[in-house]
């Protein structure tokens, strides 16, 4: 498992590229009413602590921290701290060719390349209480020089309650550091996960031409790998059958 560190303040000046439209997914048909879970999540998002309560929470949080990733309260009431985000990406990411965060897939030109990030890759971000989910996603993509549209990704929170694990997608306006403060520093109680959007129909026209070319190359590569696996499997079956036939068949 790998880890990295990225300061929000340092990454603000970096150039960022968009390669697709923001409207990445079509909305499911007939979606008119919000669910009870969405309403409850919205209430939780807008339930903020007073300055005194924040100060007390930070003191408790820092006393429980086992590493050096503590929170700092500024005089204006804004606090800064660290969150760890696990990257669980199924599809390759497109990065500027000077960066190599994972398994190389293919170059689409001299400036970009596609990579699979290792399973369970974790990155540590230094952010403030004012940073939203969308800003955190953008900071993560800048960290790895990813040129994919941030609208393709979503940030989830993984919670542990009564021996059960719950995954909940966060809205773009929520504040991850506030959630971290309220939950405490234990990642077994609350952790953050970056994934691709999994709901709705993919708008293929939202991808750039090099990205679509990469997907075709990857599909061809995976198809060839699966074909070779099937050929080896059936070749092994054939050998076993011929061996069995040779054992039971006798001339005459």
Q: Which residues contact 24 (CB under 8 A, 6 or more apart)?
A: 149, 151, 152, 197, 202, 203, 206
- Classify the phi-psi angles of 135: left when phi > 0, otherwise alpha if psi is within -120 to 50, otherwise beta: alpha
SS3 184: coil
Q: Which pLDDT value is given to residue 211? A: 74
Q: Which pLDDT value is given to residue 2? A: 38
- Which stretches of the chain score pLDDT less than 70? 1-48, 97-110, 198-206, 249-252
Quote the CA–CA distance of 179 and 252 in Å, as a whole number. Answer: 80
The model carries a pTM of 0.60
Quote the CA–CA distance of 17 and 150 in Å, as a whole number. Answer: 10
SS3 153: strand
């Amino acid at each position: 498992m790998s880890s990295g560190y990225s300061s929000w303040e340092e990454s603000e000046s970096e150039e960022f590229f968009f390669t697709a439209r923001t409207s990445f997914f079509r909305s499911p048909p007939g979606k008119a009413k919000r669910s009870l879970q969405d309403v409850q999540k919205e209430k939780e998002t807008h339930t903020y602590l007073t300055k005194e309560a924040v100060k007390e929470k930070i003191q408790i949080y820092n006393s429980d921290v086992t590493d050096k990733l503590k929170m700092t309260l500024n005089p204006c009431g804004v606090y800064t701290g660290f969150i760890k985000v696990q990257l669980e990406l199924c599809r390759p990411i497109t990065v500027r060719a000077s960066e190599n965060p994972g398994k190389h897939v293919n170059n689409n030109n001299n400036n970009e390349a596609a990579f699979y990030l290792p399973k369970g890759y974790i990155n540590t971000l230094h952010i403030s209480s004012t940073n939203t989910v969308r800003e955190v996603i953008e900071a993560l993509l800048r960290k790895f020089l990813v040129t994919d549209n941030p609208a393709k990704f979503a940030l989830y929170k993984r919670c542990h309650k009564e021996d059960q694990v719950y995954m909940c997608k966060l809205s773009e306006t929520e504040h991850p550091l506030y959630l971290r403060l309220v939950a405490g520093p234990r990642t077994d109680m609350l952790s953050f996960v970056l994934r691709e959007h999994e709901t709705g129909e993919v708008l293929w026209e939202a991808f750039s031409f090099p990205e679509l070319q990469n997907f075709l190359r990857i599909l061809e590569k995976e198809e060839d790998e699966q074909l070779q696996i099937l050929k080896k499997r059936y070749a092994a079956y054939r050998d076993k059958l011929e061996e069995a036939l040779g054992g039971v068949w006798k001339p005459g």
